[in-house]
Structures are given as C-alpha cells and as structure tokens.
Structure 1
Amino acid sequence: MLQIYDTTEDLNAPEPDADATAHPLSLFEFWPGSVFYTPIVLYWIAMGIRYGDFSIPSAANPHIETGGLCGERKTDILDLAGPLARQWIAPYIAITLDKRHREQDEVRARTAMKDAGIGFPVVVKPDIGCNGTGVKLVRHPEDLASVLAQYPGSVRIVLQKLIDRPIEAGIFYIRHPDEANGRITSITYKDVPHVMGDGVSSIEQLIMRDRRMSLVPEIYLPRLGDRRHHVPAPGQRVELVFTGNHCKGSVFRDGRADTTPELTARLDALIKDIPDFHFGRIDVKADSIDALKRGEDFEIIEINGVGSEATHIWDRRTTLWEAYRAQFEHYSATFRIGAANRARGWKTCGAFTMLRAWRKQRRMLASYPLND
C-alpha cells in the first residue's frame, strides 16, 4: 500500500519506503506541456467527434462559464455555494483594481477586507487564473500596496484569509447526474519544498545540493531574487514556495489510499450544496491527515471545474501509463456528464467560445506577477 507522509516532515529526508537510488523526479514530471498534453488534446478531439460537440464538458457544470474549463472566475464558483458549503469555505472577497486611480486600490482592498472580517496575513490571487499564477502572500499590512501594484489595472483580484493548517490537499470529485451520490477519484497532498540552514551555505547552494531541487533550479531561484544569496542560520527552515502547485515547485504525493466513506460523505454533502456541480477538484487545508480522513477540521480554499486535473499523477512514483490512464478516465467522465446534462436541456458553450476563453485566460496569465 502506498504510504503517505505528513507535510510537516522534512522533504529532504529519505522516504522510508523509497529506494535510495530511485530518481527524485518521474520520467515525465517536467516535460513541456506541449509534449505531455498532446495525447490528451488528441483524446479530447476524438471524444468531441464522437459526441458531435468539442465543448460537451462545458455542460458538466452548467452554471459555470465553460464549465470551469478556462476563463471562469474563481469567485463565480465559490459564490454558488449554499449555506452549508459556505461554512466550509475560507472567507474571501474580490475587487477590481482601478486602472485610472491605482492609489485607491489599497484603501478599497482594506475596506473590503474589514467588512468581510479578513485580516492579515491574506492571500491575493487573480480571479481568473490557473496553476497558481500570480498568487501572492501578504503577511503585513504595509506590504499590501506594493503587492497590488504588481497586478495590471482593471484586473479583478481575490483576497482570501490565509488558512494556517499544515495539510494541503487536492480532492477530485465526480458525480454523474443520474447518480444519487458522488465519489472521490483522487487525493493529492501538496508538500512545501524547503531547505534547512547550516549557517554557512546560501539558499542557492542548499538548493543545488538537494537531490530533487537541483534538477529544476529554474523553478525556485527566480522567485527568490537576492534572497538566494542569504545564509540561513543553523537549523533554520526556509520555505521556497507558497503556492501549492506542482508546476510552481510544490511536491505532490498520491493520497488516494486515504479515501474514506466519512470524507466522501462529507464532500458529497458540501458539493451537492453547489447547484449542478458534477466534476472538479476541491483544494482544502486540513489540521491533519487523520482529520481529513474523518471528514473533519478542513477548509476549502478553492473549487475548480472541468479544467482541473487529478493531480496525484504528479507523484514521482506514478508511471507515464498510469498518468495517461487517469487523465483519459477523468476526461471521459466529463464528456459523459456533459452529454447527460445536454440531454436534460443544458446548453454547451460552443467550441469557439471555449477557444476565446482559453486565449483570454492565456493573455491574462502572462500579465500577472510571479507567484510566491
């Protein structure tokens, strides 16, 4: 059975069940997207031909723009939550930055935060985005203005309470419209990569000594800036990434073995409180893995639609075949769900609308600041 480790453990320590000679990265873990996703795009095209509509998945979550494939606002999904689900969602607000009066952005943000009972630290992220692009952590009030200034004017941003719980997980949920209950198809734990100071070596030197991080230093060094030359004190833990996304440097671990009836029932009840939501990934912060397995003591920080993926595939122990099988199974499900909803009268967004939303999102992502 696959063993899962608490994210508070030292990621630089050898895993008890791992071969010490095993490669720290999987074969495909950092392949270019144009390479890894080509078979998936071809599969999508084949499914679109089969169903007579390339945008069928957009009907899987019909109240969300493109079903959550791309271009949707994060808050549009969260705002759909009913009274039960809302109790489990981390507090958030959204404002649109003023292109003409940027000096007012901080005042408006602070006012909105105060009205929502959100204090510092606070997480700032674009309302339209993916893969953690543009996500920033503002620990102190005096840093808010400088962070907001890094986003282009007229962009809508989300300010969300920082959830200080040690376990972050992505849980994939699927429920066919004909099914009374949904199911969990993936759980992924997201570990924060870090180095431990020795009082002599710089952060960059410590990174270059790490078996895993030394293979992809381009992920970690740019966001450090001049901090890469800082020499941490002996035993000082320096976290290198805040955003829990694999492509931004977080380490993902397959947690499917921790799926329990209690967690499934809890998640099913919460997601049913979001109208006609059938397919997507729910990102949560929990007090512990045991608590998560009991379906207790966690908060939802984000809900993603059909554009999300079952991220356990990025565990370094996952084979290429296992990764593609998981991708094909999930996208097959979203086509089936979309087709079922279309038969019930829901409309798909259309291939051209889907393409325009993807191009718009791509342009916006390029304008965001480097994530923390």
Structure 2
Amino acid sequence: MTQRNILVTGGAGFIGANFVHYWLKNNEKDNVVVLDALTYAGNKASLNDVLEDKRFIFVKGDICDTPLVEALLIDHNIDTLVHFAAESHVDRSITGPDAFIETNIIGTYSLLKAAKKVWIDTPKSQGESALEHRFHHVSTDEVYGTLSPDEPAFTEETQYAPNSPYSASKAASDHLVRAYHHTYGLNVTTSNCSNNYGPYHFPEKLIPLIITNILNDKPLPIYGDGKQIRDWLYVEDHARGIELVLNKGKVGENYNIGGHNEWANIDIVKVVCHLINAEFTNNHSLSSKFPQAKSAIKANSTALITYVEDRAGHDRRYAIDASKSTAELGYKPVESFETGIKKTVEWYFDNQSWIKELESKDD
C-alpha cells in the first residue's frame, strides 16, 4: 500500500480519536491531520499519545469553514478524508436541533464542496485528470429507523426512515455524499455503524455514563422500561472496519459495520454493574482509589438503577446485518462484548484524569 495523507474530521471525538490511534499504529507510512472544533465532546487530551508523532498534525477548526478545509487538503497533499465530525447525542438533538443541522448537514456539504474543488475541479481546469482520492463518510444505523423484536436486521438496502433530528441530519448527510459521487464523480464510500463503546467515550452516552456514575455513586438513569435493544460494537473493531472499506471497498458503496451483539439497555447496565462489583471485590485498591463509589464497594451497584421517563420518539431496536462487509471486505469483529466491556471499564478506572479534563471544559 502506498503512503496515504489522511484528513480526519472530528478526530478529537470518541470514535475519531480511537481511529487516529488505530491508524497511526497500524499504518506506519501514513500521515494524519486531524481537524476538530473541540466542542463539548471533543477533547484534545484524547490525542495526547500521538501529539509528538511526526506523522501527526492537529488543527483546531470548523468543518463549515470551507476555505480552511480547502487549504488543508492542498497544504498537506491530502488524498483521503475520513469524516467523523458530527453532533451525535439524540437527547441534545431533541432539545436543540439547530447544531445538528449546522454540523451534520452544512458541515458535510462544506467538506464535499472543498473536496470536489481540490480533487476534481482544480486538476481539470489545468488540463489534468482528477486526483486519486477517497472521501469516506461515517454514518449510523439510526438512519434506518427502528425495528420490531422479530424483524430482520438492517442491511445496506434498508429504506431510510430516521426518527430523530439527529438521525434525520445524518440521513441528509448520507444523501449528499451519495449525490456528490453520482453527480460529480467524487470517490466516496459510506459506512453505517451500530452503537460504539470503548475508551475516550464522552460520558453522556449509556456505557460511559453508567461507569462514571457508579464510580461517583450517582443514579443510573434508565429510559422507560429499559428494554430498548441496540447492537454494540467495540470502537477499535469499528476502526478496523473503516480500514477495510478504505482498502477494499468499492467506490460509491455503503457498508454496514456492526458488532453482531444485540443487548437490551437494562441488561447492558446490569452487566456493567456486576463487572464493576466484581472488580471492586477482587481488587481492594479500587476502594481506596474511588472511596465515593459506596455501592460498588458493597458490591451493590445495581441499587443505583433508576427508571426515568422515556425519551421522546425513542427507537425500540437497532440491529446491523454486516453480511456485505464480511463477504466483500473480510470484516469480522475481533472483540466479544465480554472482552470489550472489560477493557472499557478498566480504561475508565485508569484514566480519571481524562474525565477531569472533560469536566473542566465549559459546555
């Protein structure tokens, strides 16, 4: 594989940061530029381990700043753009959808405009062919809507039926990416993933929220009856899936990346509770490190479970059929949920300074 120069948008966010770590570790010839606005969920500390790497550059900036994106593509000879930057929390999209429209739709459009101008229009105006390039768009299974308990999992052919401002904004961005391929010839791929979990996850999402609340002996809020079902994907398996799409995926195609791992929310919470209880029982130093985790110290974290009013329009079930990615790319998750969730809990035990860094930021 020849050297790649990659621009990663949203590279200080949860999935983006994990992707950067994975890529630099597994692709030693490549250079990576991160563009991130460092909003509430972006944390430059998530990239501390690579800041001194000569192959890595961090740029604070907004994807809606089209001239900035154009300059980065030109100045760093970017041939591959991996687009993670997005507002992603459904609750926030319900109470404040404007930011989701701006970032997820207008921001994606800004990137597409810049990519088209630099990779396609400029070379053609000079009498040259379009540059070799790839625009990879990272999307979500939520664009497909919701499933009943007995319905088959989402495939790449499932009709879009987004039910929240978040998923509607992501669906719109997916369509824009598709349009720029079919209309202008931009070399694009899109991946739709299931719920990710792992290190560097902002603690408003379910799994990191449960972990951090247990460590602070705070209630564990469960929407409705807690029986909403999600497919869970360890974040490094997601990065591995994107790598396969970039290396083997067909231009213009969508690929589902899932964990083959459906769980009801309440069962996820109970698994995390029992795992943390066991960790505290077997490792007495945790009681000294987290003296405020009174329920965990008593091996009774489940006592913190608190049922709250359900989210408006809450989708009942998501499930990913990744057969296409398996057949065409050789994709298969490496982590089981048991191994992935243990790694995740241990990471939060060992990285409280990262949590404090987030808490010190102004929303």
Asked if Structure 1 and Structure 2 have the same fold, meaning a TM-score greater than 0.5 normalized by the shorter chain, the answer is no
- TM-score, structure 2 normalization: 0.28
- Structure with the largest fraction of helix: 2
Q: TM-score, normalised by structure 1?
A: 0.28
